[in-house]
Chain A
Amino acid sequence: SSLVDIGNQHIRLTFDTNGFLASVDAEGVTHMISQEFLYYEAATGNNKIYANRSSGAYIFRPKTDAVRTVAVAPEITVYRGELVEEVHQKFNEWISQVVRVYKESRHAEFEWMVGPIPVEDNIGKEIITRFSSDIKSEGIFYTDSNGREMIKRLKDHRDTWRVKLLEHTAGNYYPVTTKIALEDEHTRMAILTDRAQGGSSLSDGALELMIHRRLLHDDAFGVDESLNETAFGQGLVARGTHYLIVGPSQLDQSPTTQSLERFTQLEKTLAPWRFFSETNYSYSEWS
């Protein structure tokens, strides 16, 4: 009972004794996949020269490529029922998440909530979620182009010129409108987003997405304000969902995973609209 697992006949997620995702069973095959929240400390400077540019609304510019962890052992609570199984994770006072698998689904949902990001230490922070797997992606990953075709990205590379990146992290970030994915000859892992985010794969098998940022300096590209939005006297709270899909890769001659991603993407971005009506009618009158 020291390990927690949730899932159904298609997909099963196992959490380690510290409360982090440890592996995903998809269609009978086990993949080592972990997920955690991390943050980059924002660069600050006087904006006089490029080297002194601050991270701001226009540019993501971490002070170093190193990431900071937010928790070593999130508190978890598990709820099980006939329709859904959920793990509620609390990482700290400002990051929490619900991981769920519905009985009939082939994907897992990660509903994250981040904020208000603390800045009492006068350090801007850019929060990411990172999924790390044993997939040997060799620096290649794919991001979508406004929800349509997928564009191949190779780490530290540009197709039309020789690039030498001085900012290894930011230089490998790409826009993600709905999907980021990677694969090797056996396995494919994709994350669908519910909004446009920045994303990357900075090491083999890993996908990361930036989910929230709070910065204390302007980057001098025009807005002339720091990206430090507040409401009710505190920093903003962001809540959203990622959908994780794992399965056999395209190279395995199986189109199933990508078609599943496509259907899920459509069904999540154009989900059924909900209309609520108070009524005094009895059921039979309403019927």
Chain B
Amino acid sequence: KEKHKILHRLLQNSSSPVDL
């Protein structure tokens, strides 16, 4: 997970997730 820190951060920060 350390290796993929930008993807990790972007996924955590993005707004308004939609659930079914």
Q: Do A and B interact with each other, yes or no?
A: no
Binding site for A on B (CB under 8 A): none
Taking Cβ atoms with an 8 Å cutoff, the residues of A that contact B are none
